Chains A and B, each alone.
Chain A
Amino acid sequence: MGEALRWLLRRCVSLIGVLLLVTLGTSALLELLPGNKAVAILGTSATPEAIKIVEKNLNLDRPFIVRYGIWTERAAQGDLGIGRDGELVSASLKQRIPTSLELMVSAQLLAIALAVGGAIYATKRAGRRADRTLSTAAFGMVALPQFVLGLLFVIYLAGKWKLFPLLTHPTFFSDPIGHLRSIALPVMTLAVPLAGIYYRILRTDLGATMQADFITRARASGLSERRILFNHALRPSSLSLLSVVGLNTAAVLGGAVIVENLFAVPGLGRLLLESVAKRDLVKVQGAVLAIALIYVVVNLFVDVLLQLLDPRVRAATSGSVS
């Protein structure tokens, strides 16, 4: 157990490194943006005195790295600053994070469910028509750009056939079914390409596992194909899928901007773009931090899950000297 704890600690340290790197990178990118920031905030008609004051307040007169240091110190204490609209950044994040998380988690779960169900179904019928059809379908799902898919959903499912509402967003507690209907389209838009990717990964790994010696041995023990698939093949085959799911966290959160835009969902992605457009750098930094933080937490969770699923990883991480 001591080793497991040490591993967890090491993992946490490297994930904090990831957080620092992401925020530092964002600061650096923002620094690279052309134009004087105080001028961008106040407008070109601002007096030099006013500019001075703003620069002072935002520490714009200090070197970049010092400013980043100050920001980090405050962020560690939960103070993410105040946006240009006078709103606390942490407050607007608090508003957006649940929406984004709900979208991301639902989309990931839906994609995983589709992929796992499909891959098991296809593996049982390896090489037959159902297998080939599913593999073609997965190809198609990956090949459809998100904005096209979303647009098609808007045109047909919401517009022409009126199956789902577009502009109403009741909360889950006031109208559970209405709420689910309102997030169905954005979730589906996010989930379809993911499901295609996940299906292909899992189907390939399952196919390879089913060729493994220990599967033949399980067959030689007289176990049913069903039992072999679920008890022996699925677990070692799900490892790469799981890592990819973790890696996709941020892409789904940040990449949801298209979906949030199409379906008017107030999430982190939109906050990010709105803030960029308004040159609200404090908010941009906050939104990036939120996304990175969620990514880090999800990946820590995935790492722990991988450890539990694969004793070999456990041995490699806890037993290795270097």
Chain B
Amino acid sequence: MSPQRTWLKGWGVSGTIAWAWIALIVVAAVAARHLPIDPIRQHLSDALAAPSWSHWFGTNSRGIDIFSLVVDGARTSMIVGIGAILIGLTGGATIGLIAGYFRGWLDRSMLIALDAAAAFPAFAAAVAAVLFWGKSVRNVTLVLGILTIPLFARVMRANTLQYVERDFVRASRMIGAKHRRVLLRELLPNVAVPVLSYSLVGVGLIIAAEGGLSFFGAGVPDSVTTWGQVIASGRSQAERAPHVVLLPALVIFLTILALNKISELVIVRWVSGGVPMPKQKRRSAPDEPSVVLDRPTPSPTARPITDDPEVAVQVEDLHVWLHSPFGVVRAVNGVDLELRRGQMLALVGESGSGKTMLARSLLGLVPTPPLVPDLPGRVLFDGMDLLSWGSKSLQNVRGRKIAMVFQDPMTQLDPVMRVGAQIAEPAMVHLGLSRTLAMRRAVDLLAEVGVPDPERRVRAYAHELSGGLRQRVAIAIALAAEPQVLIADEPTSALDVTVQAQLLDLLQTLRDDRGLSVLFITHDLGVVASRADEVAVMYAGRIVERGTTADVFADPRHPYTRALLGAMPRIDNRSHQRLNTIVGTPPVLLFEQAGCAFAPRCTVAVELCTQRRPMLQAETLLHYVRGANAHDSACWLAHNEVSAVESPVSASD
């Protein structure tokens, strides 16, 4: 990354205006003495004159040009603002960094001190302090700076705490780096940006606070001009001549606004690593050129909607494309799938193969801003195309007809709601059960999914349960409204192997007992071996092989499937035998590839593979003759289009 270049670019219109305004103020502050302004001369005949060509901001009660005062005031206002923030930043950041890093009693006592500081009427104290120690720029800056220390200490501590537990900091502590080194080299650079961004807000706060002090006659001495002082001294004439107050107030307002805006953008850009976020599409905007560039052509094989009672969900030519900061990601590219009633279909693929996007798009759960709309594809359920439905109508399908379980057992449950209430909710919404009935149902469901002691567990919170139990709860939530189809998106990947097996047994039981159709998504072919009825292998947004589990395992056709099987540890492998791994990484789905997407990693690829993409289709007649089993795959070699001479036979086993 070249941070310098991206850093300067793309602040947006408001950011640029904010920078320009601050630049203007800084120029005024630095060069006020050399500008053709006159903050001293009294135009006595012109007192309280309204804004005009000769006095842009009008004049005050002594006939002094207010614009000149404001330009002149920028200097001291900025000196006080920046000076106080430097004091607060140095003091507060040191305290916060040390407390957050060493923690323990140091942190605890600092928290009490911070609490005390927050309980202390700071502004009144500032007024008192300036009045007693004397009105001077130095005193005002010092007092406001000291009172800012707790604010910075708090921000710094919070930011430090975020990093102290991160691996790189722990690692460098572990290898025995000196505290000073860890603090300065590892922590400081990471917490610097948010804290500096907060300083910009702080400068605004101080400028406002200085104005407040002037209000009580506790600001800078009368010989010096600040913005706050200009406004405060105009207070008594404000009703007769509002311009005395309004225009300087506007300057303060715009300055603080600009500082806050820049501060926010600094954080946004820092968090996004300097990559500008994609512009959000306005609603119902006409097609943007970036989207129309090369839409996929609908597959010519689209059949009329059939109502096969054996099929629960039929996916036809599904495309899911997403806007990303780097361009359009083609996550799913024309997938055909058939989930048969009461069966388990396993969708297998590496991370990044598009399987999760496929699962989410079945229920319209991919949010609209990144999703490229109006691509070909249908999701047929009960004779209807779910893709053509709006979010509102889909609500009657989600949970009620087709339910879903997600990967992460920790984050998919509401952290602040008892699990019983979460299970009861879909039953109440979809089945119209009363709260009491729904809660009773929740207990039954917990029992059904194998949660021990369900009467007690309905009252538990997610964080009180183990990962396996949480996943069972998630399944119970999914079952709450009696759906016919369950989509399970890697429900076992985050769990250990024994728990995995138990959960798979549970899904199998549910399939058998309830006649549930299960779409099981996983990256682990081994997991599905004994349990799924059918398998579909996905690679780069396409199905590359599809068939009954028995057929696919017995005779994998696609080299990718074979590689996946080869990468599976087996109990009957000889010890110390190397596992075959697939060399390379899955392709980035930003570009349309000409040939087979797997070709670059394929050990048996021939020239044709990189030129034309093989379709997913059954084997040629030859296979039947040879008596092999028949299932679909997308490989030129399996299709026998390539002669045996051309194919390097050695790679297949």
**A-B complex is real:** yes
Interface residues of A (CB under 8 A from B): 14-15, 17-19, 21-22, 25-26, 29, 33-34, 127-128, 139-140, 142-148, 151-152, 154-156, 159-160, 212-214, 216-225, 227, 231-232, 235-236, 247, 249-251, 253-255, 257-258, 261, 269, 272-273, 276-277, 284, 287-288, 291-292, 295-296, 299, 309-312, 315
8 pairs of A and B residues whose beta carbons are closest in the complex: A254-B121, A145-B208, A222-B399, A222-B398, A21-B116, A221-B399, A213-B411, A295-B119
**B365 contacts chain A at the CB level, 8 A cutoff:** yes
* Pairwise interchain contact B461-A146, C-beta atoms closer than 8 A: no
Q: Is B345 an interface residue (CB 8 A)?
A: no
Q: What are 10 residue pairs bridging A and B, where the CB atoms are less than 8 Å apart in the complex?
A: A22-B119, A26-B120, A214-B412, A214-B415, A221-B398, A221-B425, A221-B477, A250-B120, A296-B119, A309-B416
Q: Is the CB of B463 within 8 A of A315?
A: yes
| Interfacial chain B residues near A216, Cβ < 8 Å | 360, 365, 406, 412
Closest to B414 in A: A214
Instruction: Decide if B122 touches A221 in the complex (CB within 8 Å).
Output: no
Q: Which of A26, A219, A231, A299 contacts B425 (CB 8 A)?
A: A231
Is B400 on the interface with A (CB-CB < 8 A)?
yes
Identify which of A19, A147, A221 gathers the most chain B CB atoms within 10 Å of its CB.
Answer: A221
Contacts of A214 in B (CB 8 A): 411-415
In the complex, how many angstroms separate the beta carbon of A61 from the nearest chain B beta carbon?
Answer: 22
Give the contacting residue for A254; candidates B124, B215, B394, B461; CB below 8 A. Answer: B124
Closest to B208 in A: A145
The answer on a CB contact under 8 Å between A253 and B121 is yes
Cβ of A312 and Cβ of B398 under 8 Å apart?
Answer: no
Q: In the complex the two chains form, what is the Cα distance from A292 to B265 in whole Å?
A: 36
A272 touches B249 (CB 8 A): no
Q: Which of B191-199, B230-238, B311-319, B518-526 sits within the interface? A: B230-238
Which A residues touch B480, using CB under 8 A?
221
Q: Contact between A254 and B260 (Cβ–Cβ < 8 Å)?
A: no
Q: A127-B369, A142-B260, A254-B122 are in contact. Are A219 and B127 (CB under 8 A)?
A: no
Q: Is the Cβ of B430 less than 8 Å from the Cβ of A145?
A: no
A221 contact set on B, CB distance < 8 A: 398-399, 403, 425-426, 429, 477-478, 480-481
Contact A250 B121 (CB under 8 A): yes
In the complex, chain A residues whose CB is within 8 Å of the CB of B467: none
**B residues touching A (Cβ–Cβ < 8 Å)?**
112-113, 115-116, 118-125, 127-129, 131-133, 204, 207-209, 211-212, 215-216, 228, 231-232, 235, 238-239, 242, 245-246, 249, 252-254, 256-257, 260-261, 280, 283, 360, 363, 365, 369, 391, 394-400, 403-404, 406, 408, 411-417, 425-426, 429-430, 461, 463-464, 474, 477-478, 480-481
Residues on the B chain within 8 Å of A284, using CB: 128
Taking CB atoms, residues of chain A closer than 8 Å to B122 are: 250-251, 254-255
**CB-defined contacts of A160 to chain B, threshold 8 Å:** 239
The answer to whether A276 touches B124, judged by C-beta atoms less than 8 angstroms apart, is yes
Q: Which of A214, A218, A251 has the most CB of B within 10 A?
A: A214
Chain A residue contacts of B481, Cβ below 8 A: 221-222
- The minimal Cβ–Cβ distance linking B364 to chain A, given in whole angstroms, is 9
Q: Is there contact, CB below 8 Å, between A22 and B231?
A: no
Task: Tell whether A148 pairs with B260 under 8 Å between CB atoms, given A25-B116, A216-B365.
Answer: no
Given A221-B425, A222-B395, A222-B430, 17 further pairs, Cβ under 8 A: A15-B115, A19-B119, A143-B204, A143-B253, A145-B228, A151-B245, A214-B414, A214-B415, A216-B406, A221-B398, A221-B477, A236-B414, A254-B123, A269-B121, A295-B119, A311-B464, A315-B464
Q: Cβ of A218: which chain B residues have Cβ within 8 Å of it?
A: 414
Asked if A145 meets B121 with Cβ closer than 8 Å, knowing A151-B238, A232-B417, the reply is: no
The chain A residue with its CB closest to the CB of B283 is: A128
What CA separation (Å) do A211 and B409 show in the bound complex?
A: 16
Whether the pair A312, B463 counts as a contact (CB closer than 8 A) is yes
Q: How far is the CB of B362 from chain A (nearest CB, A)?
A: 10
Residues of A contacting B211 in the complex (Cβ-Cβ under 8 angstroms): 145, 147-148
Given contacts A14-B112, A217-B474, whether A155 and B238 have CB atoms under 8 Å apart is yes
Residues of chain B within 8 A of A15, CB atoms compared: 115
Asked whether, in the complex, the Cβ of B404 is within 8 Å of the Cβ of A29, the reply is no
CB <8 Å contact, A127 and B257: no
B429 touching A311, Cβ below 8 Å:
no
Q: Which residue of the partner chain, among A222, A250, A276, A296, contacts B127 with CB atoms under 8 Å?
A: A276
CB distance from B243 to the nearest CB of A (A): 11
